[in-house]
Amino acid sequence: MKTSRLFRNALITTLVIAAFVVSYNVTDADFGKLFRNLPNGQKLITDFLTPDVVTRDVETRTVSIAFPVPCDSAPAEADLPDNGPRLVPSVNCANPLEKFTLEGFDLEPDSEVVIRWKLPDERTMTAIRTNTDAEGYFTFEVEARPIIASANGVASRLEVDTLTPVGKFKPSPTLKEVLDAMFVTIFMALLSTTIATFIAAPLSFLAASNITRRGLIGSAVYYLMRFIFNVLRAYDPLSMALLFAFWLTFGPFPGAMALTVVTIASLGKLFSEAVENIDPGPVEALQATGASPIHVVRYGVLPQVVPDFISYIVYHWDINVRISTIIGFVGGGGIGYLLNLYINDFKWNQAGTAIWAIVIVVWAMDFLSAEVRKRLT
Amino acid sequence: MTNAAATRPPVTRSGVASALMPGLGQILLGQKYRGGGILIGFLIMLGTVAWYKDPAWYFSPAVIWLWNIFDAVSLAGGKARSILLPLAAGLLAAYGIGWQVVGIDFGKADLDRAAAILRPMANPDFIQTRREKNEMWVNIQVPCSSEPPLARREDAGRVAMVIPDCGTVGETLIVSASGMWPDTDTEVLWRTPIGDPKMVGEGESQMLVARSDESGVVTTAVRVPTTALVAAPDPTLAQFHRVYFYQYRPLGGIELSYVGGEVVKGALATVSMALLATGLAMLFAIPLSFLAAHNLMSGNPLTYAVYVIVRTLFNILRSIESLIIAIVFVVIVGLGPFAGMLALAVHSVAALGKLYSEVIEGIDQGPIEALRASGANWLQTVRYAVIPQIVPPFTAFTIYRWDINVRSATIIGFVGGGGIGFLLVELIRVNNMRGVSAAFIAIAVVVIVLDYFSAKLRERLV
Amino acid sequence: MLRIQNVSKTYPNGTQALKNVSFDVKDGEFLVVIGLSGSGKSTLLRCINRLIDPTEGQIFLDDVDITAAPPAKLRQIRRKIGMVFQQFNLVKRSSVMTNVLSGRLGYVNPWTSLIGLWSADEKKRAIEALGRVGIADKAGARADALSGGQQQRVGIARALMQEPNLILADEPVASLDPVLSHSILQYLEQLNKEGITVICSLHFLDLVHRYATRVVALKDGIKVFEGSAQEIDRARFKEIYGEEAQEVRAASV
């Protein structure tokens, strides 16, 4: 008795360890890589933590000098001023790939500086960004671009924009975009939960053993409904959304539909369990008064299950808000779609705004739904 | 008369108060919850309608506002009004706006397209009958050089040849192979020098199939495909293309198809990711959960600060779906199941940590007191009064989390986190609905089986 | 008014709850069914309004065969038979008023009642019924806010709404304090005096002595006694309840 139990425990332990070893290999786990590559994520996470929420109007001032590349292809800047906002390069012309130092004096202090090449045909190239100090001075090592940049004796110019924030802080366009998408997300969750409720509530009675499982047809319906609920519940709404987006093209509509389908199954199962757990006494009492079956359900079953139903609906609205935040990743619309766009464009600050919005809304929904459910029981 | 005189001032006052700020009149009459509810409901509706910018919907906050004045006035008279009307106005606007915002349009539900998607799904690409392959090929020069080599190849008693020995695009050639299996359908396929397959059947969109005779000889005419030179660096340069002959015959029995094999691998990776993530999360969540237990940490300001920080961290991480966390890890460690596993683990640490800490907060003080009273030391108390109370629920929650993680792991591949989700996205992208169907079936089987076993296990524990 | 002929009931799992039971009930009787737990009392009562279908035998109510009635006819029969339950069988989350009104479902318009609309007349009738059991003031309360004795009185009021000719009471006092038992049974006795026939199953023999006009005893599904309460002597008692039984008296008021 004792040894067999010991043997069994040893076997289970071995199996669990084996499962972890297999998993470790299958998932290509490499924690060394994780730690070596951690710096890769640094910029991403700092940007996430500094979301793009507010902006200020920016005043742009531009100074420029002629700068021939290569030398002698065009006349250089004739004479540089020695006061006022001005640019001073260490050389007055350069050959491609040569490096030289560009200094700026008496520009707007504490401003962002954008240095760029302006070609004779008005095209501009490669902005380098830096900042001026409190005296409006900056210095930067600039590489002459490896191109033939003069045309018809006109030199390309080095242009420097100073961007000075002016005026009050105001919500950034990102914030507005995120709020708009968030509204869509919340409505997606609201609508899919509501539609799912209207479909799941009647179906759940068909999947409740105490109501339906009578006779051959009843049993068949019961097992069929249970099977459908169990299979649909197995899918994450995102897998479902993948199919719906493929069918209905991108947008919140397929997202809401996918969410509805999975919620029907999920709510249907929970509802049917609530129906199965009712006190059979009142049902018996109503049958004894000569009430018809539909009245027995209306007066004997419904009052018993409605509070549970409401509690589950609120709970699912909460879950569905959470899921709608990511359903856009597979074409479902809402904030997930926006977040995916930001991420594909490497706009990490903007992505940070969306993520913080998600955190706040999900947190609030979680809190609210918990409060409502506490009241109901 | 005195009664009426006494009630008149509150009637006017509460009506005016509610007109200025919805719910204020009710609050002044002592109905705090009613007034607060009206105010919040009104503000939510006003905000929603203002955001939507369609003036028609302003009827909803307007109805709520008017009703609220009416309610305040009659409440002062001692009679509350039914909230059915404002509730209906609010819900109507909420669902109306929601319907338009979400763009619900069942007209878009093209049933023909649905049928075109679902029909191949009825026949999942998971297994195929096992078969043996007989492959033969021969080189052919396109376009012709001045001295084209002989387009003939011998291999294991088989001979394949093309007449003439070279060709130009659109030209018809005679291809033949002998020593093949007799009386067998033979697929004839063109491959360009970079290995691109080109079909040479009807309209170049169908496989050309010829049947070998009883002595194993296949002969058919082939037009050099019009797209044969699409990828050629210089179309005038003579290069070797190949004509392939494929024969298949059943071996009996069935085997996994290629997609089927990928689906099995994906399912295994999915389950493994979930298992490893849950294990890893458990290791971190157990110590952290003690820091997030209110009853242990509320003793002094320092520990309480730790409690608040850990709790907040848990709540933030719990709010971010593992799919989003996966994006960060994909950037750090690259595409693949490892990134997905790490994301699941981080999300699970927060979720498990919260559940564990609630278990710790809910333990029964009785046994602890009893053991203290019997003279047990701190370690003995923990061993015999605390651990027996927390181990079963911890295990149950961990298994439950594994269950959830398996479900999440099926989708984490959508952002490059590996597993079956990655395969699913790829299959949808190339419109392989038979493969998609196989992946969907695999997901259902894996999730339902694990769901069943985890429920059984948890039943035993509780 | 009620004739029970050779009724047997075998459950699908093979338990034989009733074996060939026959007896008559006359108008205005207070018939008490006694026996141990599991002796078939509840099954017998439920066979009368066919909450349970008997496997064999027939039951006639005023010469109408209940056992052969099709569903619509059965509902018409049921609405004239009130029933009171051991566990009260109230919808706990509904108000007392709704619980009482639901006794009227066999009579009222099926559509208006489906959306919860009741005529003023029905509401007045419900208040009256509650008044007869002395708890008219509780009409607005939720059923689970009431004490056990009050809940059983709601159960009686619900049965009264059916304007029954017959009340079946299945262990109406078994879940109550002994002190409350008498008050509940007195309401039933009062109704009996007003002309309603009562069939009641009971545990305590002293209650049987006090209220029954006639007694039927069941043991393992077989009728072992039929007669007046006074006829149950020590020997009969042992026969019904078994050798080891001791008579326990409910506290009297």
pLDDT given at position B2: 44
A328 in C contact zone (CB under 8 Å) = no
Chain-chain contact of A299 with C105 (C-beta, under 8 angstroms): yes
Query: For the purposes of burial, counting CB atoms within 10 Å of the CB of C26, is it exposed (0-12), middle (13-18) or buried (19 or more)?
Result: exposed
Read off the amino acid at residue C1: M
Which of A150, A168, A186 finishes a domain? Answer: A168
Q: Which of A199-203, B373-377, B417-421, C164-168 has the lowest mean pLDDT?
A: B373-377
In a domain, A46, yes or no: no
Asked if residue C164 has a cis previous peptide bond (ω within 30° of 0), the answer is no
DSSP B101: H
Quote the tokens at residue A3.
Answer: 């040894």
3-state DSSP call for residue B187?
Answer: strand
What pLDDT band is residue B5 in, cutting at 50, 70 and 90? very low
- Cβ within 8 Å, pair C102-A288: no
> Residue C35: which of C243, C239, C231, C252 has the closest Cα?
C239
Checking if the pLDDT of C253 tops 50, the result is no
Question: 3-state class of A333 per DSSP?
Answer: coil
**CA dist B443 → A372, B271, B405, B409, B449 (Å):** 34, 10, 13, 10, 10
Residue B253 has pLDDT above 90, yes or no: no
Exposed e or buried b for every residue in B410-436, given b needs 16+ CB within 10 A? bbbbbbbbbbbbbbbbbbbeeebbbbb
Q: Do A187 and A248 fall within a single domain? A: yes
Distances (CA, A) of A76 to A67, A72, A93, A99: 6, 8, 7, 17
Please give the structure tokens belonging to residue C125: 């009738």
Percent of chain C exceeding pLDDT 90 equals 47
CATH classification (class only), C1-80+165-253: alpha beta
Report which of residues A96 and B345 the model is more confident about.
B345
Place of tokens 């029907």: A264
**Residue pair B354/B340 in contact by the 8 Å Cβ criterion:** no
> Of A168, A183, A213, which one is at a domain's C-terminal end?
A168
Is A286:C102 a contact under the CB 8 Å cutoff? yes
Say what percent of chain B tops pLDDT 70: 97
Q: Which pLDDT does position A193 carry in this prediction?
A: 94
Give the C-alpha distances (Å, rounded to integers) separating C201 from B95, B328, C67, C240: 55, 72, 21, 14
The ipTM estimated for the assembled molecules is 0.85
* pLDDT class of C248 with cuts at 50, 70, 90: low
Q: What is the mean pLDDT of chain A?
A: 86
> What's the pLDDT tens digit per position in B378-391?
788 888 888 888 88
DSSP-assigned letters across all residues of A5-37: HHHHHHHHHHHHHHHHHHHHHHTT--HHHHHHT
Q: Is residue A75 part of a domain?
A: yes
Asked whether the beta carbons of B137 and B257 are under 8 A apart, the reply is no
- Using alpha carbons, select from C59, C11, C71 the residue that is nearest to residue C166: C59
Instruction: For residues A303 and A325, give the distance between their C-alpha atoms in angstroms, rounded to a whole number.
Output: 34
User: Is A61 a residue whose pLDDT tops 70?
Assistant: yes
At A140 the pLDDT is 84
Q: What letter does residue B203 receive in the DSSP assignment?
A: G
Report yes or no: A250 at the C interface, CB cutoff 8 Å: no
Residue A5 in this model has a pLDDT that exceeds 60:
yes
Look at strands A99-105 and C30-34 and give their pairing. unpaired
CA distance B431 to B427: 6
- The reported pLDDT for the residue numbered B282 is 94
Kindly tell me the burial class for residue A78, based on how many C-beta atoms sit within 10 Å of its own C-beta (0-12, 13-18, 19 or more): exposed
Give the ranges where B223-377 is alpha helix by DSSP (H): 258-291, 294-297, 301-319, 322-333, 337-361, 365-373
A70 has pLDDT over 50: yes
| B137-195 tens-digit pLDDT | 998 888 888 888 888 888 888 899 898 888 888 888 899 998 888 888 898 989 888 87
Please tell me whether residues A182 and A199 are part of one structural domain: yes
User: Which residues span the domain enclosing A358?
Assistant: 173-376
Residue type, B371: L
**Backbone torsions φ then ψ of B135, nearest 5 degrees:** -115, 135
Q: Is C250's pLDDT higher than 80?
A: no
CA torsion through residues C197, C203, C208, C214, sign: positive
Report the C-alpha gap between B124 and B120 in whole angstroms: 7
Which pLDDT does position A65 carry in this prediction?
A: 84
A199's enclosing H/E stretch is helix A173-206
- pLDDT > 50? residue B1: no
Subunit contact A239:B410, Cβ cutoff 8 A: yes
Phi, psi of B27 (to 5 degrees): -65, -40
- What distance in Å separates the CA atoms of residue B38 and residue B43, rounded to the nearest whole number? 9
Distance CA B346, CA C148 (A): 52
The better pLDDT of the pair A118, C97 is held by C97
- pLDDT tens for B292-325 read 988 878 778 888 999 999 999 999 998 888 999 9
Could you tell me if A230 and A285 lie in one domain? Answer: yes
Residue of chain A minimizing CA distance to C105: A291
Which residues is B128 bridged to in the sheet?
Answer: B255
CB pair distance less than 8 Å for B338 and A28 = yes
Cα–Cα distance, A299 to C134 (Å, whole number): 24
What is the b/e burial string over B329-354, where b = at least 16 CB atoms within 10 angstroms of the residue's CB? Answer: bbbbbeebbbbbbbbbbbbbbbbbbb
My answer on whether A199 and A334 are in the same domain is: yes
User: What span, in angstroms and rounded, lies between the C-alpha atoms of C33 and C201?
Assistant: 4
Instruction: Give the length of chain A.
Output: 377
* Percent of chain C whose pLDDT exceeds 70: 96
Task: List the domains of chain B with CATH numbers.
Answer: 2-102 (no CATH), 127-255 (2.60.40), 258-461 (1.10.3720.10)
From the CB of residue A280, how many other CB atoms can be counted at a distance below 10 Å?
12
pTM as predicted: 0.76
**Interchain contact B268–A (C-beta under 8 A):** yes
Residue A151 lies in a domain: yes
* Cβ contact C206:C39 at 8 Å: no
Residues of C in contact with A303 (CB under 8 A): 91, 93-94, 98
* CA closest to A305 among chain C residues: C93
Q: Which two tokens stand for residue A135?
A: 């005296």
Overall domain count for chain A: 3
CB pair distance less than 8 Å for A288 and C94? no
B313 touches chain A (CB under 8 A): no
Are A307 and C93 in contact (CB < 8 Å)?
A: yes
- Is A282 part of the contact surface with chain C (CB cutoff 8 Å)? yes
How many angstroms away from the CA of C18 is the closest CA of chain A? Answer: 20
Domain locations in chain C as residue ranges: 1-80+165-253, 90-163
- 8 Å CB contact of A358 and B319: yes
Identify residue C160 by its one-letter amino acid code: L
The answer to whether residues A276 and A144 belong to one domain is no
How many C-beta atoms surround the C-beta of residue B70 within 10 A? Answer: 15
Please report how the helices B387-412 and B258-291 are oriented relative to each other, as an axis angle in degrees rounded to 10.
140
The pLDDT confidence band at residue B8, using thresholds 50, 70 and 90, is low
Q: Give residue A377's pLDDT.
A: 67
Range with the poorest average pLDDT among B202-206, B328-332, B368-372: B202-206
Which is it for the CA torsion A331, A332, A338, A342, positive or negative?
Answer: negative
Residue A47 lies in a domain: no
Backbone angles phi, psi at C58, to 5 degrees: -135, 155
**What is the predicted pLDDT for the residue at A143?**
79
Nearest to A27 among B269, B331, B425 (CB): B269
CATH of the domain at A243: 1.10.3720.10
Q: Does B177 touch chain A (CB under 8 A)?
A: no
Whether residue A215 sits in one domain with residue A80: no
Q: What is the pLDDT of residue C252?
A: 42
SS3 state of residue B349? helix
A188 and A161 in a common domain: no
Q: Hey, of B95, B101, B106, which one would you mutate to test binding to chain A, going by the most A CBs within 10 A of its CB?
A: B101
DSSP tag of C144: G
- Taking contacts as CB-CB distances below 8 angstroms, the residues of chain A near B95 are 190-191, 194
> CB–CB of A179 and B51 under 8 A?
yes
| Average pLDDT of the segment spanning C146-159 | 92
Q: Are B322 and B408 in contact (CB under 8 A)?
A: yes
Backbone angles phi, psi at B345, to 5 degrees: -65, -45
Q: What is the domain-level CATH number for residue A126? A: 2.20.130
In a domain, A44, yes or no: no
* Domain final residue, candidates A168, A196, A224: A168
Is the backbone peptide bond immediately before A81 cis, with ω within 30 degrees of 0? no
The set of residues, in sequence order, having a beta carbon less than 8 Å from that of B413 and lying 6+ positions away, is B266, B340, B419, B420, B421, B422, B423, B424, B425
